[in-house]
Amino acid sequence: MLVLRELLASSGWVERTQSFARTMRRSTKEPGGLLLVGTPDVEPWHLAAHLDDESRISGVAELSPTLIRYAPPKDAPAHLSVTLQRLEQAKRGETVFVVSEDAAPEALLQRAWDARKTGATVLSLDAGDSELQQVAHESLTIVRGTIDTIHYDMSSLLDAPLNRPDTDDLRQPTPGDVVTFDHVQHLVSVAAGEVALTPSQRSMKQRLARLLENISGPRIESGG
């Protein structure tokens, strides 16, 4: 993850995701109040897992998301059985975080509007969905074909391990790659954990991360 952030240092994406994460952190006041929702076809499982990890690392329960689902199976555990009806109960101090690479369905847009009217903060990670952006207080938009190309010196990766078994979803970028939904979701989750820490805690987390990289090489996380 540090490698990815270094590659994107000059692109503006690190700062954008940090600002977005600060908004998410400030707007979520209680555990269970970060309501993470995708689309009927693509649920943001990986982002939910990464935010949950950052919640444990930082000790901030508010970062652990409530995953909202459209049609959970009847035998799903309680924490994986939360439906769109939960958005109808959203209130001030809670955050509706919509992740949608395609157009958000009408049922979601309406509930997000209603949640905003009752005081919840609405955030979106989208691919240029203008209707969703009108609902959201703040958006991170990744438009296919027009997003930032990553440029960097290949010598910076000479010692990085390649073709590791845990690089199936987030591989190391190569020249000509673009910023993807996977990249931005990782950046947002890491930034969320960092903004929840005090300066001394952030410094310690960075020192530990760099120590681990010196020992084992940069770690490329699996999963979106």
Cα 67 to chain center, whole Å?
13
> Which runs of E-coded beta strand occur in the chain?
34-37, 66-68, 95-100, 121-126, 138-141
Domain assignment present for 140: yes
Residue 155 banded pLDDT, cuts 50, 70, 90:
very low
56 domain residue, yes or no: yes
Are 222 and 81 contacting, i.e. CB atoms less than 8 angstroms apart? no
Spell out the residues 6+ positions from residue 119 whose beta carbon is closer than 8 angstroms to its own: 91, 92, 93
Strand partners, 122: 96
Return the amino acid letter for 189. S
Contact (Cβ atoms closer than 8 angstroms) between residue 29 and residue 143? no
pTM: 0.73
Q: Which has the closest alpha carbon to 81: 90, 69, 97?
A: 69
Asked if residue 127 is part of any domain, the answer here is yes
Average of per-residue pLDDT across 3-26 = 76
Assigned domain for 191 exists: yes
Percent of all residues in the chain with a pLDDT value above 70, rounded to a whole number: 65
- CATH number for the domain including 72? 3.40.50.10490
40: which residues sit within 8 A by CB, 6+ positions away? 70, 71, 105
176: pLDDT confidence band, cut at 50, 70 and 90?
Answer: very low
Please name every residue paired with 35 in a beta bridge, in sequence order, or none if there are none: 66, 96
Question: Would residue 219 count as lying in a domain?
Answer: no
- List, for residues 33-72, the tens digit of each pLDDT value: 999 999 999 999 999 999 999 998 888 899 999 999 999 9
Residue 109 lies in a domain: yes
The answer to whether residue 5 is domain-embedded is no
Cα distance between residue 167 and residue 152, in whole Å? 20
Q: Percent of the chain scored above 90 by pLDDT?
A: 53
Residue 54 domain-assigned (yes or no): yes
Q: In this predicted structure, what is the pLDDT of residue 206?
A: 52
Query: 32's torsion region: left (phi>0), alpha (psi -120 to 50) or beta?
Result: left
Separation CA 89–CA 109 (nearest Å): 15
Number of domains in the chain: 1
How is residue 183 written in tokens? Answer: 């990249």
- Which residues form the domain of 39? 11-148+178-197
The 3-state DSSP class for residue 139 equals strand
CB–CB of 59/53 below 8 Å?
Answer: no
Q: Supply the pLDDT for residue 104.
A: 95
Instruction: Note the pLDDT of residue 131.
Output: 96
Range name among 69-78, 89-98, 133-142, 195-204 with the lowest pLDDT average? 195-204
- The strand pairing partners of 138, in sequence order, are 123
